[in-house]
Amino acid sequence: MLVFTNSHCLTPEIVYNQENVIYNLSSYIEGFERVNILPPFGLDRYSREFDLAYEEYIRTNDSVFMEFMKIIMSLYNGYNVIILVDMNSPIFTSVTESLIILFEQKYDLIPNIVQELEDWDSVEEYSFSERGINNLLIEKERYSYIIEAMNLYK
C-alpha cells in the first residue's frame, strides 16, 4: 500500500503500526525520516514537461535515486509506505502529482491520497505488476551497485 497524506491524517494506530513506514517528503512535521527527492528549484513545476524532467532528475542523480529507492524497496519488502506531504502548497502538489504518475507508469502502483481521516476507510492495496517488478529489478541492480561503491569509500 502506498499513501500520500498530510500529517494531520496520522493516528497513533498508523504511526505505531510496524507494517507501516512513514517518510516525510514535504510536510513541516518533524520526527519522521525524510525522503530527499524534491526537485531543484530550476525545474518549472507548471510546464507540461515537468513530469519527464522530474523523473529524469530522480533517475540521473545517484543520491536522489537512492532516496527514491527507499520508498520502492520498502514497498518491495512488504511494508505499507506513507509519504507525508504538504497538500496545501501548489508547489508540493505538483511534485506529489508527478510522483503519483511515476509510480503508476513505472510500477503500475496506484497510490492512495488521504486528505481526511475518513479517507483511510477507502484505502486500497496495490502491488507491483509484472512490468513493475521488471523495472524494479533493473533499478535494484543499480541500487546494489551504488551501495557497494559507497562501501568501498568508507
Asked if the model's pLDDT at residue 91 lies above 90, the reply is no
Q: Parallel, antiparallel, or unpaired for β 33-34 and 2-5?
A: unpaired
pLDDT in tens, 142-151: 999 999 888 8
pLDDT band at 77 (very low <50, low <70, confident <90, very high): very high
Q: What is the pLDDT of residue 5?
A: 96
Could you report the per-residue pLDDT of 12-54, keeping only the tens digit for each?
999 999 999 999 999 999 999 999 999 887 766 767 788 888 9
pLDDT beyond 90 at 92? no
| Residue the block writes with cell 507494517 | 19
Q: With helix as H, strand as E and coil as C, how does 53-119 read?
A: HHHHHHHHCHHHHHHHHHHHHHHHCCCEEEEECCCCCHHHHHHHHHHHHHHHHHHCCCCEEECCHHH
